[in-house]
Structure 1
Amino acid sequence: MTALFDWLNTVFIEQFNFWIVLGFIAQALFMMRFVIQWIASERVGRSIVPVAFWFFSIGGGSLLLVYAIQRQDPVFIAGQGLGLIIYFRNLWLIFKEKRRDPTI
């Protein structure tokens, strides 16, 4: 049990700094996209993906990418980098469609 407490102290107390705070803020933003999607879907009674989902994806993904770069984690950097491309592309497609049909 002492080993567990030592590990928790190392991970959550000794390492605590600006970058850990940024990482938690980024993760909270990223998580909010699912909360937004869930609330929007509950309101209409079917699964939908609102535009706010993509904005939270970009916000959280960007901060998580900064965090991953600072931590020098190649897996995390590649994952967030690719994700950002997809989020921006989805927003581009949504806005392109709205320009063609402003009633959407």
Structure 2
Amino acid sequence: MTNAQIWLIVGFTAQTLFSLRFLIQWIATERAGKSVVPMAFWYFSLGGGAMLLSYAIYRVDPVFIVGQAAGLFVYSRNIYIIKFKNRPELAD
């Protein structure tokens, strides 16, 4: 297997992880009967986004790199807010 083939597999795996987040959100919303965004959505966003950023760097695609890097900031920030800012003991 060539280096390019391995990176193609990484790219498709990353895109699959990234896309699964919408399925996860849809299922959670249907179960709750209202729009919800479960933690798994953010973890799949972060994992898929990090892999897609790696793939974009390999491809030397500046548009893709900037887009994925910006997304990683948003996903990380949301995870931080949910885990650390929403704790009752930290409430004002």
TM-score by length of 2: 0.89
Partners of 2:12 and 2:88 in 1: CA distance: 39
User: Is 2:11 the partner of 1:23?
Assistant: yes
Q: Counterpart of 1:38?
A: 26
Q: Counterpart of 1:96?
A: 84
Structure 1 unaligned spans of 5+: 1-15
Percent sequence identity over aligned pairs: 56
How far off is 1:21 after superposition?
0.6
Q: 1:45-77: CA deviations, max 9, x gaps?
A: 111100110000000000000000000000000
Q: 1:21-58: CA deviations, max 9, x gaps?
A: 10000000000100100000000111110011000000
When Rg is computed on C-alpha atoms for both structures, the one with the higher figure is 1
Amino acid aligned to 2:25:
Q
Structure 2 unaligned spans of 5+: none
Deviating above 4 A after TM superposition, structure 1's stretches of 4 or more consecutive aligned residues are none
Aligned Cα RMSD in Å?
1.2
Given candidates 42, 48, 55, the residue that maps to 2:36 is: 48
Partners of 2:34 and 2:85 in 1: CA distance: 21
How far off is 1:96 after superposition?
1.7
Partners of 1:97 and 1:65 in 2: CA distance: 27
